[in-house]
Homo-oligomer: A and B are copies of this chain.
């Protein structure tokens, strides 16, 4: 089976690496950014091109949401399967006469960061049973966690991920802004952050909540508001309001 990965960013790099590490041969990595493709190609010993798309049975499109439709049009072959890797696009975004599918890896990808691919949940949607079997076989070589998902469900998976990952990371950014302003090294907070996350492996997050809002400690809440401004103050107020709503305080 000939497989081509399309894209040269973080997702393309990690998907290609996951394939190669699990002995699933790749016929090509195809994209626009020659420099990035060259790096992927050298590291993973996979051919690349920026011009001629290789003939394949399966194309996996790993580009940003905005580019999926345009990129999908370059695949003119009909008898093949095409998968995109987006959490928030229906498989019908793919434009072509091939069979359409979605292969969504639930993870945050940064190029410079090693990942344990076997732990990444993969969500699969296809047009028929045959294609489903193909994607399951491939994905289960990479990960222990492969499931089906409709577009309806995938949208909510992606939305949940935005709260649990993107927003959490932004809270770290705002937290660091506060500690930086007082010349407090952000490293001090890493054991606390690690513990916050380890906890929810054992306890429901709702039961693990601590802090002034859930204690309804008005003195501390007011004190903190005086120390904050702009976006951080807005976040502070909304988050406390939301905590107090959740616990009926």
A202 interfacial contact with B, CB 8 Å: yes
A231–B192 Cα distance when bound, in Å, is 26
Range, interface on chain A? 35 or more
Assembly CA distance A184 to B153 (angstroms): 8
- On whether A197 and B188 interact (CB within 8 A), knowing A173-B206, A210-B165, the answer reads no
Interface of A is mostly: helix
**Which among B119, B160, B162, B168 is the interface contact of A191 at CB below 8 angstroms?**
B119
Question: Which of the residues B113, B179, B231 comes within 8 Å of A157, measured between beta carbons?
Answer: B179
**How many monomers of this chain does the complex have?**
2
B contact residues around A96 at 8 Å (CB): none
A246 near B173: Cβ-Cβ < 8 Å? yes
Q: Does A47 contact B (CB under 8 A)?
A: no
What separation, in Å, do the CA atoms of A155 and B225 have in the docked complex? 12
Do B156 and A168 touch across chains, with their CB atoms under 8 A apart? Answer: no
Check A108 for interface membership: any CB of B closer than 8 A.
yes
Contacts of A119 in B (CB 8 A): 191
Residues of B within 8 A of A208 (CB): 108, 110, 169
Asked whether A107 and B156 contact (CB < 8 A) given A66-B217, A200-B169, the answer is no
